[in-house]
Amino acid sequence: MKNETRIVVSATQRVPQLHAIFAIALIAQVAFWHFASPGPFLRTGELNIGSACRSAVASFLCLFLIPWIGAILLGIKPANSELGIGQWRKGLLIVGLGVPIVAVGLFVGSGDPEIQAAYPWPGKWLSDSIGNMLMWFAVYAIYYFAFEYFYRSFLLFRLEKELGLAAAIWIHVLMSVAVHFGKPTPELLASIPAGFAFGLIAWHTKSIWYVFAIHWGIGILNDVFAMHHHGWLDS
């Protein structure tokens, strides 16, 4: 009887924290989709380095600063040390195997008309020089760090502590897929298996950095392949 009482009390104490996590997540995701996600910009044709950089900065504010500050103010502690190196041997092996595998699919997928109409995000400017590419890929890292911090660190690891792995995986996948609405159909569809894979990789390696490396690599390769299909790299 006492054990059952403890379980009920423990579950009751977790409810306010879960409400806080979901409230912060909702605010962050809506702000991200409205101010930073490429989805809305793809419909307006604002594909240039200015809008791309503004969106990357907005992503950092929406997906990193909002949940980070919100967690501090509400006393939500990190569930794990997911910002550390975690299981680095396993992580490096996954990155080494994962990037070449996804590169093949990206090369084929980047030939899709929807992908070519949407990427690269900074437009023709990106292909003008190696310096432009290096600058954008560095800015792109900010975007992907914020993305991985929010979906994998803030959502997945915290919800796994409160609800268990299965529920945490499904909730964070549903939210990460939803934010792809407005993007090219192949990208939207690919975000479903990618969400599950990235979540499991982060959980098994106990770190977001290996998923970040793969996701950032996908972004870079997608831009390079898109430029290739546009014929911008031939000149």
For the chain, give every domain's residue range.
Answer: 2-230
Question: Which residue shows structure tokens 């609800």?
Answer: 163
Q: Which residues contact 34 (CB under 8 A, 6 or more apart)?
A: 40
pTM for this model (two decimals) = 0.89
Q: Which residues contact 126 (CB under 8 A, 6 or more apart)?
A: 49, 120, 132, 133, 136, 223, 227, 232
The CB-side HSE value for 130 (13 A sphere, CA atoms) comes to 0
Per-residue pLDDT reduced to its tens digit, 76-104: 776 666 788 889 999 999 999 999 999 99
User: Is residue 222 over pLDDT 70?
Assistant: yes
Per-residue pLDDT reduced to its tens digit, 8-34: 334 455 677 888 899 999 999 999 988
Please state, in angstroms and rounded to a whole number, the distance separating the CA atoms of residues 150 and 228.
Answer: 32
User: Is residue 163 over pLDDT 80?
Assistant: yes
Per-residue pLDDT reduced to its tens digit, 39-68: 655 555 667 899 889 989 999 999 999 999
Please state, in angstroms and rounded to a whole number, the distance separating the CA atoms of residues 146 and 223.
Answer: 19
